Protein backbone atom coordinates (compact mmCIF):
# COMPACT_ATOMS: atom_id res chain seq x y z
CA UNK A 1 0.00 0.00 0.00
CA UNK A 2 2.95 2.28 0.71
CA UNK A 3 5.69 1.60 -1.75
CA UNK A 4 8.99 3.38 -1.22
CA UNK A 5 11.34 2.85 -4.16
CA UNK A 6 14.99 3.81 -3.98
CA UNK A 7 14.45 7.03 -2.06
CA UNK A 8 17.29 9.49 -1.76
CA UNK A 9 17.05 12.72 0.19
CA UNK A 10 19.71 15.40 0.46
CA UNK A 11 19.69 18.61 2.42
CA UNK A 12 21.85 21.62 1.81
CA UNK A 13 24.12 22.37 4.73
CA UNK A 14 26.10 25.57 4.21
CA UNK A 15 27.40 25.26 0.68
CA UNK A 16 27.39 21.48 0.46
CA UNK A 17 24.72 18.83 0.15
CA UNK A 18 24.37 16.12 2.75
CA UNK A 19 22.70 12.89 1.70
CA UNK A 20 20.44 11.81 4.55
CA UNK A 21 18.60 8.95 2.80
CA UNK A 22 20.80 6.98 0.46
CA UNK A 23 18.47 4.66 -1.41
CA UNK A 24 15.72 3.25 0.78
CA UNK A 25 13.14 0.82 -0.59
CA UNK A 26 10.36 -0.80 1.39
CA UNK A 27 6.73 -1.74 1.26
CA UNK A 28 4.20 -1.29 4.01
CA UNK A 29 0.99 -3.25 3.42
CA UNK A 30 -2.36 -1.63 4.02
CA UNK A 31 -3.56 -1.85 7.60
CA UNK A 32 -0.18 -2.74 9.02
CA UNK A 33 1.37 -1.36 12.19
CA UNK A 34 4.86 -0.43 11.08
CA UNK A 35 7.75 1.00 13.06
CA UNK A 36 10.75 2.94 11.88
CA UNK A 37 13.65 2.53 14.29
CA UNK A 38 17.32 3.44 14.26
CA UNK A 39 19.90 5.74 15.80
CA UNK A 40 19.41 9.47 16.16
CA UNK A 41 20.12 11.27 12.92
CA UNK A 42 19.75 8.13 10.80
CA UNK A 43 16.90 9.60 8.73
CA UNK A 44 13.79 8.20 10.43
CA UNK A 45 11.80 11.43 10.58
CA UNK A 46 12.95 12.36 7.10
CA UNK A 47 11.53 9.10 5.73
CA UNK A 48 8.28 9.53 7.68
CA UNK A 49 7.78 13.08 6.41
CA UNK A 50 8.36 11.94 2.84
CA UNK A 51 5.55 9.39 3.28
CA UNK A 52 3.32 12.27 4.37
CA UNK A 53 4.34 14.47 1.42
CA UNK A 54 5.60 17.05 3.91
CA UNK A 55 8.73 17.05 1.78
CA UNK A 56 9.83 15.53 -1.52
CA UNK A 57 12.67 13.09 -2.14
CA UNK A 58 15.68 14.15 -4.14
CA UNK A 59 15.37 10.91 -6.11
CA UNK A 60 13.09 7.87 -6.08
CA UNK A 61 9.36 7.44 -5.77
CA UNK A 62 6.81 6.95 -2.99
CA UNK A 63 3.42 5.57 -3.85
CA UNK A 64 0.50 5.41 -1.48
CA UNK A 65 -2.39 3.30 -2.78
CA UNK A 66 -0.87 3.46 -6.24
CA UNK A 67 -0.65 7.22 -6.25
CA UNK A 68 2.88 8.46 -6.72
CA UNK A 69 3.40 11.33 -4.28
CA UNK A 70 6.41 12.58 -6.24
CA UNK A 71 4.35 13.04 -9.40
CA UNK A 72 1.44 14.88 -7.81
CA UNK A 73 0.87 18.56 -8.45
CA UNK A 74 1.24 20.86 -5.47
CA UNK A 75 -2.55 21.02 -5.14
CA UNK A 76 -2.78 17.23 -5.13
CA UNK A 77 -0.08 17.01 -2.48
CA UNK A 78 -1.94 19.51 -0.34
CA UNK A 79 -5.12 17.51 -0.70
CA UNK A 80 -3.28 14.30 0.17
CA UNK A 81 -1.82 15.82 3.35
CA UNK A 82 -5.08 17.45 4.30
CA UNK A 83 -7.54 14.63 3.64
CA UNK A 84 -5.74 11.31 3.55
CA UNK A 85 -2.99 11.45 6.17
CA UNK A 86 -3.15 12.00 9.92
CA UNK A 87 -0.03 13.30 11.65
CA UNK A 88 0.94 12.83 15.29
CA UNK A 89 4.04 14.60 16.58
CA UNK A 90 6.14 14.24 19.70
CA UNK A 91 5.14 17.67 21.00
CA UNK A 92 1.36 17.26 20.37
CA UNK A 93 1.14 20.59 18.45
CA UNK A 94 -2.19 21.61 19.94
CA UNK A 95 -3.55 25.15 19.91
CA UNK A 96 -3.48 26.47 23.48
CA UNK A 97 -6.56 28.66 23.46
CA UNK A 98 -8.82 26.06 21.85
CA UNK A 99 -10.75 23.36 23.71
CA UNK A 100 -10.22 19.64 23.10
CA UNK A 101 -13.12 19.48 20.64
CA UNK A 102 -11.98 22.64 18.88
CA UNK A 103 -8.47 21.24 18.51
CA UNK A 104 -9.78 18.01 17.02
CA UNK A 105 -11.82 19.81 14.35
CA UNK A 106 -8.91 22.06 13.34
CA UNK A 107 -8.36 20.07 10.11
CA UNK A 108 -11.82 21.21 9.00
CA UNK A 109 -11.20 24.91 9.64
CA UNK A 110 -10.19 25.73 6.04
CA UNK A 111 -13.47 24.36 4.67
CA UNK A 112 -15.75 25.13 7.61
CA UNK A 113 -16.58 23.29 10.82
CA UNK A 114 -20.06 21.83 11.13
CA UNK A 115 -22.02 20.48 14.10
CA UNK A 116 -21.50 17.02 12.63
CA UNK A 117 -17.71 17.51 12.74
CA UNK A 118 -17.95 18.54 16.39
CA UNK A 119 -20.06 15.49 17.17
CA UNK A 120 -17.51 13.27 15.50
CA UNK A 121 -14.72 14.99 17.45
CA UNK A 122 -16.57 14.32 20.70
CA UNK A 123 -17.00 10.65 19.72
CA UNK A 124 -13.30 10.31 18.93
CA UNK A 125 -12.33 12.03 22.17
CA UNK A 126 -14.58 9.63 24.01
CA UNK A 127 -12.92 6.71 22.19
CA UNK A 128 -9.51 7.86 23.43
CA UNK A 129 -10.85 8.20 26.98
CA UNK A 130 -11.40 11.95 27.10
CA UNK A 131 -15.19 12.01 27.05
CA UNK A 132 -15.20 14.04 30.24
CA UNK A 133 -12.61 16.55 28.98
CA UNK A 134 -14.27 17.83 25.82
CA UNK A 135 -14.17 21.49 26.83
CA UNK A 136 -10.81 21.43 28.55
CA UNK A 137 -7.93 23.40 27.12
CA UNK A 138 -4.49 21.86 26.58
CA UNK A 139 -3.04 23.69 29.58
CA UNK A 140 -5.62 21.97 31.80
CA UNK A 141 -4.54 18.53 30.62
CA UNK A 142 -1.62 16.20 31.19
CA UNK A 143 0.85 15.34 28.43
CA UNK A 144 -0.79 11.98 27.84
CA UNK A 145 -4.21 13.61 27.59
CA UNK A 146 -2.89 16.19 25.15
CA UNK A 147 -1.42 13.46 22.98
CA UNK A 148 -4.77 11.69 23.00
CA UNK A 149 -6.35 14.87 21.63
CA UNK A 150 -3.68 14.87 18.93
CA UNK A 151 -4.56 11.25 18.10
CA UNK A 152 -8.24 12.17 17.80
CA UNK A 153 -7.28 15.10 15.56
CA UNK A 154 -5.18 12.80 13.37
CA UNK A 155 -8.18 10.50 12.87
CA UNK A 156 -10.96 13.03 12.36
CA UNK A 157 -10.81 12.77 8.56
CA UNK A 158 -10.65 8.95 8.53
CA UNK A 159 -7.20 8.96 6.97
CA UNK A 160 -5.87 5.97 5.06
CA UNK A 161 -2.54 6.50 6.76
CA UNK A 162 -1.45 7.79 10.17
CA UNK A 163 2.15 8.91 10.63
CA UNK A 164 3.52 9.39 14.13
CA UNK A 165 6.96 10.76 15.00
CA UNK A 166 7.99 9.67 18.51
CA UNK A 167 4.42 10.00 19.82
CA UNK A 168 5.47 9.04 23.33
CA UNK A 169 8.82 10.86 23.33
CA UNK A 170 7.70 13.40 25.90
CA UNK A 171 5.69 11.03 28.06
CA UNK A 172 6.60 8.78 30.95
CA UNK A 173 6.58 5.00 30.60
CA UNK A 174 3.12 4.36 31.91
CA UNK A 175 1.55 7.13 29.83
CA UNK A 176 3.46 5.85 26.82
CA UNK A 177 1.92 2.41 27.32
CA UNK A 178 -1.54 3.98 27.45
CA UNK A 179 -0.94 5.88 24.21
CA UNK A 180 0.09 2.69 22.40
CA UNK A 181 -2.91 0.86 23.77
CA UNK A 182 -5.12 3.55 22.24
CA UNK A 183 -3.22 3.56 18.94
CA UNK A 184 -3.50 -0.23 18.67
CA UNK A 185 -7.20 -0.22 19.49
CA UNK A 186 -8.05 2.51 16.98
CA UNK A 187 -5.87 0.95 14.33
CA UNK A 188 -7.46 -2.46 14.78
CA UNK A 189 -10.95 -0.96 14.59
CA UNK A 190 -10.27 1.15 11.53
CA UNK A 191 -7.67 -0.87 9.63
CA UNK A 192 -5.68 2.30 9.16
CA UNK A 193 -2.06 1.90 8.18
CA UNK A 194 0.07 3.27 10.98
CA UNK A 195 3.74 4.17 10.68
CA UNK A 196 5.46 5.13 13.90
CA UNK A 197 8.99 6.37 14.50
CA UNK A 198 10.25 5.37 17.92
CA UNK A 199 13.37 4.95 19.98
CA UNK A 200 11.59 2.60 22.30
CA UNK A 201 11.47 -0.95 21.00
CA UNK A 202 9.42 -2.21 23.94
CA UNK A 203 6.27 -0.98 22.16
CA UNK A 204 6.94 -3.27 19.20
CA UNK A 205 4.98 -6.54 18.99
CA UNK A 206 5.98 -9.65 17.06
CA UNK A 207 3.38 -9.05 14.34
CA UNK A 208 4.57 -5.53 13.59
CA UNK A 209 6.62 -4.56 10.61
CA UNK A 210 9.94 -3.06 11.72
CA UNK A 211 12.05 -0.96 9.39
CA UNK A 212 15.48 -0.35 10.82
CA UNK A 213 17.28 2.65 9.37
CA UNK A 214 20.97 3.21 9.86
CA UNK A 215 22.94 6.02 8.32
CA UNK A 216 20.34 6.64 5.63
CA UNK A 217 19.95 3.01 4.59
CA UNK A 218 17.44 0.32 5.46
CA UNK A 219 19.53 -2.02 7.55
CA UNK A 220 16.87 -4.64 8.08
CA UNK A 221 13.18 -5.15 8.01
CA UNK A 222 11.52 -7.61 10.33
CA UNK A 223 8.01 -8.90 10.26
CA UNK A 224 8.10 -9.21 6.51
CA UNK A 225 8.29 -13.00 6.36
CA UNK A 226 4.68 -13.61 7.28
CA UNK A 227 3.07 -16.66 5.66
CA UNK A 228 0.70 -14.80 3.41
CA UNK A 229 3.04 -12.19 2.04
CA UNK A 230 6.71 -12.74 1.59
CA UNK A 231 7.29 -9.49 -0.23
CA UNK A 232 5.81 -7.11 2.32
CA UNK A 233 9.07 -5.41 3.04
CA UNK A 234 12.22 -5.79 1.11
CA UNK A 235 15.59 -4.50 2.03
CA UNK A 236 16.68 -2.47 -0.94
Ligand X SMILES: Nc1ncnc2c1ncn2[C@@H]1O[C@H](COP(=O)(O)OP(=O)(O)OP(=O)(O)O)[C@@H](O)[C@H]1O
Residues that bind ligand X (CB under 6 A): 11, 13, 20, 38, 40-46
Q: Which does 40 bind (CB under 5 to 8 A by kind): ligand X, Mg ion, none?
A: ligand X
Tell the smallest beta-carbon distance from residue 137 to ligand X (Å).
28
DSSP-derived pairing of the beta strands 33-37 and 193-197: parallel
Q: Where are the beta strands (DSSP E) in the chain?
A: 2-13, 16-28, 33-37, 59-64, 67-68, 85-89, 161-165, 193-197, 209-214, 217-222
| CA distances to 7, 33, 106, 220 from 186, in Å | 30, 11, 20, 27
Q: Is 168 in the site for Mg ion (CB under 5 A)?
A: no
We find the least distance from the C-beta atom of residue 27 to ligand X, in angstroms, to be 20
Q: Are 44 and 213 in contact (CB under 8 A)?
A: yes
Nearer to ligand X among residue 29 and residue 43 (C-beta): 43
Buried b (16+ CB within 10 A) or exposed e, 214-226: eebbbeebebbee
Cβ proximity to Mg ion: between 37 and 125 the closer is 37
> Measured at CB, which residue is nearest to Mg ion?
45
Pick one of Mg ion, ligand X, none as the site partner of residue 32 (Cβ within 5 to 8 A by kind): none
Contact call for residues 123 and 189 (beta carbons, < 8 A): no
Is residue 192 near Mg ion by the rule CB under 5 A? Answer: no
Query: Regarding beta strands 59-64 and 2-13, do their DSSP bridges make them parallel or antiparallel, or are they unpaired?
Result: antiparallel
Of 178, 161, 153, nearest to 93 by C-alpha is 153
Q: Does 45 bind Mg ion (CB under 5 A)?
A: yes
CB of 54 to Mg ion, least distance (A): 13
Q: Which of Mg ion, ligand X, none binds 97 (CB below 5-8 Å, type-dependent)?
A: none
Residue 117 binds which entry of Mg ion, ligand X, none, CB below 5-8 Å type-dependent: none
Smallest gap from residue 230 Cβ to ligand X (A): 28
Write down the least CB distance from residue 18 to ligand X, Å: 6
Say whether 55 sits in a helix, a strand or coil: coil
Which does residue 43 bind out of ligand X, Mg ion, none, counting CB within 5 to 8 angstroms by kind?
ligand X
Task: Report in angstroms how near the CB of residue 25 gets to ligand X at its nearest.
Answer: 17
The residues binding Mg ion (CB under 5 A) are 45
Amino acid sequence: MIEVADIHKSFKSGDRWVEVLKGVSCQIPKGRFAFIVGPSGSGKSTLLYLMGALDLPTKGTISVENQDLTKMTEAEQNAYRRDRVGFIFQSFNLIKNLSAVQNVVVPFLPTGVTAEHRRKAADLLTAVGLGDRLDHHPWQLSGGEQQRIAIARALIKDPILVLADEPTGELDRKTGDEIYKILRKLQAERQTTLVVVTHDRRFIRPDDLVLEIEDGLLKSSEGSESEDDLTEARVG
